[in-house]
Structure 1
Amino acid sequence: MSGKLEGRVALVTGGGQGIGRAISESFAREGAKVGVLDLKTELAEEAVDAIRAAGGTAMALTANAGKRDEVFAAAETLREAFGPITVLVNNAMFNRYGPLEEQTEKTISLMVDVGLKGVIWGYQAVLPDMREAGQGAIVNVASPAAVIAMKGGIMYTAIKAGVAAATRSGAAEFGPDNIRINAIAPGPTQTDGANLVVTEEAWERRRQRVPIGRLGQPQDMANAAVFLASDDASFITGDMLFVDGGITYAFS
């Protein structure tokens, strides 16, 4: 690796599995000291063990990304261990698909708390560090659902549209502080978690819809996140990068 994130301290929410874990590991390979935040301690620790085994630096942080006090406490723990946080990835999400009339208040509240409020708590937790450092990079994980309709996913699309809006508005508000905020919008991605609930036939149907002819892998998303967090993207902010094999514009 080329050390694109050398000397940075990065906080990755939902960093213990799937896309979040791939991002955590990729950031560490690029030289960042990574705080792997996850609701499940064992997942965060497994990711950290893998990072350390590969020669990287990381620490496990257990927190609910939807709870402001827990996010702030985790950020403080990371700050005390490694120094000011200058990279943030807001990846954590709790999601349930299904007909809107079947969604309970509890489910909707959890989705909003983690998927949307969690982005704001992440901003608030790291902005003082970034302002003091005179620079920072935030990468939000949005979705093509932010701009296209999804049957059975009204709340999910609403939340991801909110993430996209928070990306644009945050970029405008914090740009004068030399803090860049961008988002990635992953297309169909074969994570371990998704493989537990998506059948081979369903994956094949999704693959057939992707113009580039294959499904996304967590590493595809991690590569995009590294780019947006690094100085290679120093003049890019407020953008949403569709890492989707072309599916968004092919079907919008």
Structure 2
Amino acid sequence: MKGRLASRVALVTGGGRGIGRAISEAYAREGAKVAVLDLKLDVAEECAGAIRAAGGEAMAVQANVADREDVFTAAAKVKHAFGPVTVLVNNAMYNRYGPLDDQTEPMISRMIDVGFKGVIWGYQACVPQMREAGGGVIVNIASPSAVLAMKNGIMYSAIKAAVAAATRSGAAEYGPDNIRVTAIAPGPTQTDGANMVVSEEGWERRRQRMPIGRLGQPSDMANAAVFLASDDASFVTGDMLFVDGGVTYAFS
């Protein structure tokens, strides 16, 4: 399969659902060999199977990104099956909104372990493989809340701000290795998971705030992720791309 990502080996964390799945499928359509990593193996296998049925190459990998050893083991499995990872998408996240006073230590620890430490473990596991391959790309999934105030989202905002900082510093640290580090900040996006917690009225309120007049779809984020991983973005590193219909700057 030929495309903008032909010859790439991509590892997508949280790759079995929502934005992660859209990225996994888009990368496969563009010719990448895709490792769909998810905490739930059946979810990863369903996505990987759909990619293969459509003519792409994909494998399912079960791992908990909060566990450093799990991430290293997963990266080694991908290398054994497909070759060195050359595109890493750090998408996995665990989040609970609410007043900080109501958030427990275990809840906060899990959010940090998945949302930030998981990114760092991904760097440590995959950057050596990228060096071996002669270069690569990391695409982190951040958020507009990394730069905006957010009520009932102190921990989420702080974690995504840390991801944005790790993007900038990662670009500086790994640039000499021909590794680009980028990020996407998705605006309100209608995923299956979001639909479970946001009502139709809630979506409508969000839509009315959008300068572009519509809500985001997983495919919007996937298109941006393809661009950032491709040679079309060969001079882009350290940046966080706001894929948000203009809402961040309209209300900043």
Partners of 2:83 and 2:89 in 1: how far apart? 17
Instruction: Note if 1:132 corresponds to 2:112.
Output: no
Q: Which residue of 2 aligns with 1:16?
A: 16
CA distance in 2, matches of 1:65, 1:20: 14
CA distance in 1, matches of 2:129, 2:75: 10
Aligned amino acid, residue 58 of structure 1 = A
Aligned to 1:191: 191
Gaps of 5+ in 1: none
Query: Is 1:123 paired with 2:128?
Result: no
How many angstroms does 1:233 deviate by? 0.2
Q: Determine the C-alpha separation between the residues in 1 that align with 2:134 and 2:32.
A: 18
Give the whole-Å Cα distance in 1 for the aligned partners of 2:122 and 2:237: 17
Deviation at 1:169, TM superposition (A): 0.1
| 1:167 matches 2:167 | yes
> What residue is the counterpart of 1:155 in the other structure?
155
Secondary structure at 2:213 match in 1: coil
RMSD: 0.8
Deviation at 1:2?
6.0
Please state how far the C-alpha of 1:43 moved relative to its aligned partner.
0.9
TM-score under structure 1 length normalisation: 0.99
1:245 corresponds to: 245
Deviation by residue 1:53-80 (Cα, 9 ceiling, x = unmatched): 1100000000111110001101111110
CA distance in 2, matches of 1:249, 1:2: 37
- Structural mapping, 1:189-228, within 5 Å: 189-228=189-228
Matched position secondary structure for 2:242: strand
SS of residue in 1 equivalent to 2:181 = strand
TM-score, normalised on structure 2? Answer: 0.99
1:132, CA displacement in angstroms?
A: 1.5
Equivalent residue for 2:56? 56
Say if 2:85 is the partner of 1:81: no
Q: After superposition, what is the alpha-carbon deviation per residue over 1:34-58, rounded to whole angstroms, capped at 9, x for unaligned?
A: 0000001111011111101110000
Residues of 2 paired with 1:220 and 1:58: CA distance? 21
Report the equivalent of 1:29: 29
How far apart, in 2, do the equivalents of 1:203 and 1:143 lie?
18
The answer for unaligned runs of 5 or more in structure 2 is: none
> Match for residue 66 of structure 2?
66
Cα distance in 1 for residues equivalent to 2:100 and 2:94: 16
Matched residue, 2:94: 94
d(CA) in 1 for partners of 2:10, 2:62:
15
Note the C-alpha offset of 1:129.
1.1
| 1:151 partner SS | coil
Distance 2:243 2:136 in 1: 22
Distance 1:129 1:45 in 2: 24
